[in-house]
């Protein structure tokens, strides 16, 4: 079996108070589906946690409008640190997370009326697509992006994760991961300039090489229908020496901690990554429990140390109290789950 990437499952968001942050993400981004939550010790992430096991709380939340989710992650055994410096565009790592919206004007006006920390105004990227930036109360930057993809209309003004913007030291080297392994094989634009739509960001008035990637073929597999299409934007600073966003910090501390893909065929992926000189840094081997969910997870790094997670989902709860679960192990990678089954995730909606 070859590996199949079904879509972006989630962006990991490290916070100090997960329940408080989750309530904010429900209110403003519609992340109100509780896929799982779990309190445990992270025992397998030693290469990225200074060689020590770490107590943590984690929850996976999604928006039924479509797109990836948030893994809301909190260290419970240590006080998680923020970066020791202001993040600037082009710093190495996940700089911002892209969020889908089917109505960007309504989303902007709603977020503005709610008093959110909006950076600049609605503008257009080099392809002419509209977007704007907003910060959460925890200094995480989100880019709300106009998208025609809609799984199921919700009350929220945004959908889920559409991708992210990642600071890199060398775009061409980074393509060996984002294009050759992750399958973002189509270039929407590749421009080198100073860009008007970035001027609202720290150092955004400087010159960058900026490349937006998407996948040319629709993703297939279990949850591909709700994940939908996604994009990755790589940004290389040309007028300053960037810093690593997680400099002197460990995985799970404050900010965007990883980009996670839902996949089928972990064994094939392991061999592919090894053959491309990007071997797994972490491998849970077979099945690993996350509360009531279970799967196989692994990590690689991009050339600048940004963490990419892969999850092969084996089991997810539908109605936990009734013992009703989705068994996903061994499914045909070319076939998505039927829509009625995906829709059962709504049984886990959090009502505020």
In the chain, what are the helix, strand and coil shares in percent, each to the nearest 5?
20, 40, 40
Domain, as residue range, for 195: 4-348
Asked if residue 258 lies in contact with residue 243, where contact means CB atoms within 8 angstroms, the answer is no
In a 3-state reduction of DSSP, which class is residue 348?
helix
* Count of the separate structural domains present in the chain: 1
Question: What pLDDT is attached to residue 141?
Answer: 98
Question: Pairing mode, if any, of strands 130-135 and 186-193?
Answer: unpaired
pLDDT tens digits, 138-174: 999 999 999 999 999 999 999 999 999 999 999 999 9
Over 90: is that where the pLDDT of 102 sits? Answer: yes
Asked if residue 161 lies in contact with residue 10, where contact means CB atoms within 8 angstroms, the answer is yes
Distance CA 61, CA 25 (A): 9
- Which residue is associated with the tokens 């700089």? 95
Contacts (Cβ under 8 Å, ≥6 apart) of 153: 65, 102
Supply angle C-alpha 176, 9, 66, rounded to 5.
120
Q: Considering the entire predicted model, what is its pTM?
A: 0.94
Contacts (Cβ under 8 Å, ≥6 apart) of 142: 29, 96, 97, 98, 99, 133, 134, 135, 136
For position 95, which CATH number holds? 3.10.180.10
pLDDT tens digits, 168-177: 999 999 999 9
Asked if residue 215 lies in contact with residue 232, where contact means CB atoms within 8 angstroms, the answer is no
Please report which confidence band the pLDDT of residue 320 belongs to, taking 50, 70 and 90 as the band edges: low
- DSSP bridge pairs for 55: 41
pLDDT tens digits, 175-222: 999 999 999 999 999 999 999 999 999 999 999 999 999 999 999 988
Please report which confidence band the pLDDT of residue 295 belongs to, taking 50, 70 and 90 as the band edges: confident
User: What's the gap between Cα 62 and its chain centre?
Assistant: 11
Conformation bin of residue 215: beta by default, left when phi > 0, alpha when psi is -120 to 50: beta
Question: What pLDDT is attached to residue 347?
Answer: 87
Average pLDDT over residues 220-228: 93
């Amino acid at each position: 079996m070859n590996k199949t990437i079904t879509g972006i499952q989630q962006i990991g968001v490290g916070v100090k108070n997960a329940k408080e942050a989750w309530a904010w993400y429900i209110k403003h981004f519609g992340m109100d589906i509780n896929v799982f939550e779990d309190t445990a010790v992270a025992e397998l992430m030693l290469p990225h946690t200074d060689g020590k096991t770490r107590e943590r709380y984690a929850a996976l939340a999604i928006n039924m409008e479509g797109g990836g989710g948030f893994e809301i992650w909190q260290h419970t055994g240590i006080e998680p640190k923020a970066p020791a410096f202001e993040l600037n565009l082009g710093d190495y790592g996940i700089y911002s997370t892209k969020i889908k919206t089917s109505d960007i004007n309504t989303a902007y006006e709603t977020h503005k009326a709610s008093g959110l920390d909006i950076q600049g105004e609605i503008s257009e990227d080099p392809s002419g697509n509209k977007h704007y930036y907003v910060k959460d109360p925890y200094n995480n930057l989100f880019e709300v992006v106009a998208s025609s993809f809609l799984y199921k209309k919700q009350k929220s003004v945004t959908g889920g994760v559409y991708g992210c913007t990642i600071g890199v030291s060398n775009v061409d080297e980074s393509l060996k991961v984002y294009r050759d392994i992750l399958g973002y094989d189509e270039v929407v634009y590749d421009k080198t300039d100073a860009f008007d739509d970035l001027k609202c960001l720290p150092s955004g008035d400087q010159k960058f090489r900026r490349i937006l990637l998407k996948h040319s073929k629709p993703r297939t597999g279990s949850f591909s229908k709700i994940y939908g299409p996604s994009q990755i934007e790589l940004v290389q600073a040309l007028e300053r020496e960037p810093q690593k966003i997680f400099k002197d910090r460990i995985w799970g501390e404050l900010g965007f901690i990883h980009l996670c893909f839902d996949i089928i065929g972990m064994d094939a992926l392991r061999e592919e990554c090894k053959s491309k000189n990007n071997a797994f840094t972490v491998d849970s081997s077979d099945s690993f429990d996350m509360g009531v969910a279970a799967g196989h997870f692994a990590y690689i790094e991009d050339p600048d140390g940004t963490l990419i997670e892969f999850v092969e989902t084996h089991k997810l709860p539908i109605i936990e109290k009734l013992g009703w679960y989705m068994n996903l192990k061994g499914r045909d990678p070319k076939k998505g789950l039927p829509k009625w089954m995906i829709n059962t995730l709504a049984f886990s909606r959090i009502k505020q």
